[in-house]
Structure 1
Amino acid sequence: MLHSVFAAAELTKNMFENGEMVYKQGPLGGCTNLNKCELIKFTNLIPCTGCSYSILDAETMPKVNKAIKNLKQSIAFLPENSPYRLQVLMETQSIITAVNKAGYADLLEIKIE
């Protein structure tokens, strides 16, 4: 087994060195996209949720919790039917869905009504 772990580590190292694999910080965790991100747009507040290149793990949960807190604070005084408020609520739900799917719901600090 040790040999297979070493072989996998060597393969991974070679992929990084050859530009076949990358890791970079994203807004809510890590990203393995080799190409320019096509998801970052003005209309998408948290682009990484649902992205197949996104790495969401326990270490990224403080960033996720901070993002949810900031989003909630940004809409606190907006009217119930504000388009921006509705968009933020949808984005927040997307984050929660991604966290649940990744198995880290117990690490969410803020629950959304």
Structure 2
Amino acid sequence: MMKLYCVIVNGVFRGNCFSVEVSETGNVLDLVKVIINAKAVQLGGAEADDLRLVLAKNGDGWLDWADAIQVPLNDRQHPQGFEVMNSFLPLKDDKYFGGDFQTGNCKVHVLVV
């Protein structure tokens, strides 16, 4: 299992930080389902198609919580300048959590839109 830290970046629950555990062999869609189950109330009964996951990484590496909640949003309330995760790619893809990924202290891995 892989532990990931997530932050909701829009809506009433903006800034809500939480962790989830997901199988390392899963894909991004599996992560979406785990997040929906973990945060059903905050996400207002969202379906998998309703959520967008954004990699919380910039040129300097993973964001910390303070930076994650300050991410600028565009007019559609999506984070600007960050990569939307492809639902069908494996979590261990080199673009996401492959290679030598470590959870790390006080780092955010996923922005939930």
Flag the structure with higher strand content.
2
Assess same fold via TM > 0.5.
Answer: no
TM-score range, shorter chain: under 0.3
Computing the radius of gyration from Cα coordinates, the structure with the larger value is 1
Higher helix residue share: 1
